[in-house]
């Protein structure tokens, strides 16, 4: 028997909780950055300003964004109005900043290589960052919805909800539908967040990654506005972002909501797969 036969196999040490600590660190960093806190403050101000504006002046039917005329009758509609106002520009801006900075910011500041010394693989690092970006995306939507709900309750009160179809449901059912609307918006924006993360793996310039991610929204919205391109409208990233209006009908078209949500998740899956492939082959030197 040779000495080689007596050599024991190398056992890699297991570090319990390393992934969970990494995820908490990602969320903590996002919540401590003044830029991100300022963006959340801007989001919270939007439903507040809309509510005060409606309270001081009665909007006429057809004026302003969808659901604006129903706010005076039920403050719950301030949630839907605020999300309608925020989802084309403000929410994508927040998501683009956070997701674009997720990896490019680390690479640009020289901390990405130190993150890779944590006892987790690159795949787990990407998963932790994805969960961190998804958490902040959900928080951004929740800020708009909660501030809108509180502001609407204080200024206009809450009561039974008259749906777009004319039927009336209880306040409890209305709140559940508002929760469904918020969840749908979170899923829709997650596709953009995943795109921002992929773009973030392509550069070490966080500003460029943020701008490109926001540009992705602008290009999609521009293509969606061209009638001659109606054949591709159904598969555009932003086409069904306002599809949450289905939750305000007496008979929700569940099949349509699931189909739109599946498209958003498909975008997320494609972008995250590309991000994973890029991160696996990325030569991290900074």
pLDDT(59) > 80? no
With 0-12 / 13-18 / 19 or more C-beta atoms within 10 angstroms meaning exposed / middle / buried, residue 17 is exposed
More reliable by pLDDT, 114 or 124: 124
How confident is the model at residue 97, as a pLDDT? 93
How confident is the model at residue 12, as a pLDDT? 47
How confident is the model at residue 16, as a pLDDT? 60
Helix H segments across the chain?
18-32, 34-56, 77-86, 90-109, 112-115, 122-156, 171-200, 206-224, 230-233, 254-281
Boundaries of every domain in the chain: 15-281
How confident is the model at residue 3, as a pLDDT? 43
How confident is the model at residue 19, as a pLDDT? 73
Average pLDDT, the chain: 85
| Share of residues in the chain with pLDDT > 90 (%) | 53
pLDDT(28) > 90? no
pLDDT(50) > 70? yes
pLDDT(145) > 90? yes
In order, the DSSP letters of 3-37 are: TGGGPPPP-PPP-TTHHHHHHHHHHHHHHH-HHHH
pLDDT(86) > 60? yes
Q: What DSSP character marks residue 256?
A: H
How confident is the model at residue 115, as a pLDDT? 57
Q: Would you say 36 and 30 are in contact if contact means Cβ atoms under 8 Å apart? A: yes
pLDDT band for 213, please (50, 70, 90 cuts): very high
Rounded to whole angstroms, how far apart are CA atoms 126 and 10? 27
Q: Give the alpha-carbon dihedral of 134, 104, 127, 12, to 10 degrees.
A: -150
How confident is the model at residue 1, as a pLDDT? 47
pLDDT(279) > 90? no
pLDDT(126) > 90? no
More reliable by pLDDT, 272 or 204: 272
Mean pLDDT of 245-257: 90
Helix (H) or strand (E) holding 161: strand 161-162
Which residue in 134, 83, 79 sits closest to 271, CA to CA? 134
């Amino acid at each position: 028997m040779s000495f080689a036969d007596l050599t024991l196999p190398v056992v890699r040490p297991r570090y319990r909780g390393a992934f969970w600590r990494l995820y908490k660190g990602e969320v903590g960093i996002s919540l401590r950055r003044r830029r991100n806190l300022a963006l959340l403050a801007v989001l919270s101000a939007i439903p507040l300003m809309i509510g005060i504006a409606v309270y001081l002046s009665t909007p006429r039917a057809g004026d302003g964004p969808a659901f604006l005329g129903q706010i005076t009758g039920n403050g719950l509609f301030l949630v839907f109005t605020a999300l309608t106002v925020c989802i084309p520009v403000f929410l994508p801006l927040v998501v683009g900043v956070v997701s674009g900075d997720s990896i490019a910011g680390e690479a640009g500041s020289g901390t990405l290589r130190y993150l890779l010394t944590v006892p987790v693989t690159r795949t787990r690092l990407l998963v932790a960052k994805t969960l961190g970006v998804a958490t902040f995306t959900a928080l951004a939507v929740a800020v708009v919805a909660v501030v809108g709900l509180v502001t609407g309750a204080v200024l206009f009160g809450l009561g039974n909800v008259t749906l777009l179809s004319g039927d009336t449901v209880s306040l409890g059912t209305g709140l559940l539908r508002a929760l469904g609307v918020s969840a749908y918006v979170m899923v829709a924006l997650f596709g953009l967040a995943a795109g921002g993360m992929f773009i973030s793996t392509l550069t070490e310039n966080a500003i460029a990654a943020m701008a490109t991610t926001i540009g992705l929204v602008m290009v999609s919205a521009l293509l969606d506005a061209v009638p001659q391109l109606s054949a591709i409208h159904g598969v555009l990233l932003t086409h069904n972002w306002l599809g949450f209006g289905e939750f305000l009908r007496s008979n929700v078209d569940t099949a349509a909501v699931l189909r739109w949500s599946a498209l958003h998740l498909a975008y997320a899956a494609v972008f995250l797969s590309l991000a994973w492939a890029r991160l696996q082959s990325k030569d991290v030197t900074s």
